[in-house]
Every structure is written in structure tokens, then in C-alpha cells.
A = this chain, B = another copy of it.
Amino acid sequence: MLKGIFPPITTPFVNDEIAFDKLTENISRWNKTDLAGYVVMGSNGESAFLTRDEKLKLIENVKKNSDKGKILIAGTGSDSIKETISLTNEAAEKGADYALVLTPSFFKEKMNSNSFVKYFTEVADKIDIPLIIYNVPKFTGVNIEAASAAKLSEHKNIIGLKNSSENVAHLSEIINNSSDDFVTLVGTASILYTGLCAGAAGGVLALANIAPNECIEIFNLFNEGKLKQARELQAKMIPVNKAITGKYGVAGLKSSMDILGYFGGEPRSPLNMLSENEIKDLKAILTKAELL
């Protein structure tokens, strides 16, 4: 069963092309940590900006460079069921262990419980690796209900859900109502500690790109019953997480990687690099959190 901390790894670009050498460097550094594995082609991997070919090469490359024992999760979902199935199965051939599949969202108002259950059932029925539902309202504008997640948790090929909202009541409901072996993962580091309190199995956290050990420590402290320390470390991480997922987004995450010795680089257009003042602000935030 999945548990622990996974970074949705960023995709490094040089001259607008994927820089596989830089990726290899980042992975070799992450390999030395207790990260449970990697998510490629998540939101922070700028999956939205990648072509199909680039996606498949990415998986292949990350698979090759990951330490044994690191789990590989690939973001393969889109509104098209046909394309999602096809891409997932190719991803599986390239080495993906699990598929992280976005809720369909184009026809927002029509995406009711029925639609979500249909979509994920049809996809899960035809893919060769287990499916993790990916719920991220701030990017999709839709939100899967706990009751739908509960229903889907009974499908033998749907093994978990990543929930990237900060609504812990919703997370609790999903956990309370899903089948016992269903894995609920926190999708943003700001609620890692409270999500674990609510029963989450771990997290897929942008923050884990730059602060893997801190995320792992919150996870371990919680599991050792050291709530106070877990909460304190969590408190220290919230401003950093807010900067790299809210205020500055992917560009901020990549700049933080550059600041902290990883390769971050530029996000793809139309996202913008941070300005010098923004980088200064980011450094101050990282320093205050004792990451720099």
C-alpha cells in the first residue's frame, strides 16, 4: 500500500526543451532521501505544457534514474477517456507503477457524481496499472464528492485519491467513507500534518521537491505521536508552501530549487519567471523557514 511522501517533480527545461541531464541530477539527489517515490507529469511537472512524446520520454527517463524501491506515479489523465487509457497504458510500458488521473473538468457544470463515477470506472477498467484519482479544484474548477470517491474506492483498480484542496473536512469525509484499503494522499503541504491527523496515508507535495526531509520528518513525527513537534515543523513550512504553490506557483517552486542547489530553471511559456524582487522575497521566506 502507498504511504509516505512523494514529490510531484518539476520538469527542467533548457532553451524550452526538456533537460534530461538536469533531471537526472535532481533525481540522484532525491534518491538519497526517504521519499517514497516520484510523481511525474503532475501539475507542478507542467504536464499541461508537454506534448505526448515528451511525456513518454519523461517517464522512461525518471524510471531509469530512480532508485529501486522508489515508486513511480505518472499523471496521465485528460478529459478524453480514450486518450487517458491509451496514454496510461503506454506510460505503464515505460515503467509507471501507478496512474494519477485528473478529474475530467471541461464541462464543469455537468461533472456531477454520475460523471465522475462513469469516467473513472471506464478508465480503470481498461488500464494496466492501478489508478489514483487526482482532485485539484483550484486548477480544474470541479470537486469530487466524498460519496463518489467512496463508491469508486470499491473498484479493484482504483486504489487511492490525491486531494489537493485545503479543505480538511472534505479530506476527512473521503477517508471516513472509502473502503479500508483505499489510500488518501494529501495534495498540498499546508495540510500535511492535519491531513495525517485526519487519517491520510501520506502526501504528494510540491514542497517535497525542495524540502523532502522536512516533509518526511513531519510524517515521521506524527507517526511517533510527537504531535507538538510535528505541528511546529508544519508551522514553519506553511509560508514556504504558500509561496511555491500560491503566490508564485511553479515558477516559484523552480526558483526555490535553483536557490537550494537543485536545477529549477524556467517554467514553460506562458508562465513567467520570477522577477529579481520576487526571488529576493523567496529567499527571505526560505531563510526564515531555515531551508536556506
Contacts and interface: CB of A to CB of B under 8 A. Distances in A.
Interface string A39-68: 000010000111110000000000000000
Interface residues on A, range: 35 or more
A83 interface: yes
A271 interface: yes
A169 interface: yes
A69 interface: no
Interface stretch (A113-121, A126-134, A207-215, A256-264): A113-121
A83 B50 CA distance: 8
Interface in A162-177: 166-170, 172-173, 176
A172 B197 contact: no
Interface string A225-244: 00100010011001000100
Contacts of A234: 172
A59 B153 CA distance: 40
Interface stretch (A4-12, A21-29, A186-194): A186-194
Contacts of A166: 167-170
26 contacts: A48-B79, A49-B79, A49-B82, A51-B82, A52-B52, A81-B270, A104-B270, A106-B139, A108-B138, A108-B139, A110-B250, A110-B271, A114-B270, A115-B270, A122-B269, A122-B270, A141-B141, A166-B167, A166-B168, A166-B170, A169-B190, A173-B190, A176-B235, A194-B194, A194-B198, A197-B227
